[in-house]
Amino acid sequence: MSFYTFAKMEVSFYKYQGTGNDFVMIDNRISRFPKEDIEFVKKLCDRRFGIGADGLILLEEHPSLDFRMIYYNADGNLSSMCGNGGRCIVKFAKQLGVIGDLAKFEAVDGIHEATVVDDRVLLRMTDVKNIIVSENHTFLDTGSPHHVELVEDLKNFNVKINGASIRHTTYGTEGANVNFVENNGEGVFSVRTYERGVEDETLSCGTGVTAVALSLFETKNVTSNTVTLETLGGMLTVRFDHDNGVYKNIYLEGPATFVYKGTWI
């Protein structure tokens, strides 16, 4: 199906956000969406000429699980795992009647399980086996690659300029997401994240706060296996087990909210 043909059809979409990380959701169980059309995805995510979102997510049929999640960054390209997007698609699947309060689905990084509790979603992330600890930062993959760095005066820190510099100069063409972290005291850490693909700071990043929580534990900045993270878009909680150097049973918990439904004509 060509872009022109698809663009002339009325396409239902749903807008969701998870702590300010927002997504265009499309029910693609009948496989009508032009998945190779990067420019169309980019246009839908554009905040001036489209719907506006940090990313676009397709919900598709899966032969044995509840559904499959296909995630695009705002630049129109297929991307790695998105934790807040994963929580939001679970709520979307419940709204569509695909699931009840429990879900098991496939994303680009493997199989995920999730539970819906009122307005919150607890999403099980993939295990993490390798955290690279450097002098002033850590690097790990929580479904997406993440740089984690402790800074001072995070409120006034230029996340976009510093994040873009690290994303491109340190991690090359493929890049990485960059998280800047500050201890607020009382066991709460503030996180601000520059996301590749969006190429800007987002209000929240689910795989990012997961990376931050594990990094803080790995570097002994926290001793608890339950870490509360404050993003610009709200609070998230990460819980995990640590066994023989491997982080298992990692859960990302926070709100996932339906914003509105619309039609692209």
Per-residue pLDDT of the chain (265 residues; tens, 9 = 90+): 444 444 456 789 999 999 999 999 999 999 899 999 999 999 999 999 999 999 999 999 999 999 999 999 999 999 999 999 999 999 999 999 999 999 999 999 999 999 999 999 999 999 999 999 999 999 999 999 999 999 999 999 999 999 999 999 999 989 999 999 999 987 899 999 999 999 999 999 999 999 999 999 999 999 999 999 999 999 999 999 999 999 999 999 999 999 999 999 8
Q: Determine contact, residues 244/130, Cβ cutoff 8 Å.
A: no
**What are the helix (H) ranges across the chain?**
3-7, 38-45, 83-96, 159-165, 206-218
pTM: 0.94
Give Cβ neighbours of residue 148 (< 8 Å, ≥ 6 apart): 137, 138, 139, 140, 179, 181, 211, 212, 215
State the Cα–Cα distance between residues 60 and 89, nearest whole angstrom: 11
Catalytic machinery residues: 82, 205
Cα separation of 181 and 192, whole Å?
7
Computed on alpha carbons and rounded to an integer, the radius of gyration of the chain in Å comes to 18
In three-state secondary structure terms, 142 is: coil
Core vs surface per residue 129-149: b (16+ CB within 10 A) or e: eebeeeeebbbbbbbbbbbbb
CB 183 within 8 A of CB 189: yes
Domains contained in the chain, CATH given: 3-124+256-264 (3.10.310.10), 131-250 (3.10.310.10)
Q: For position 9, what pLDDT does the model report? A: 63
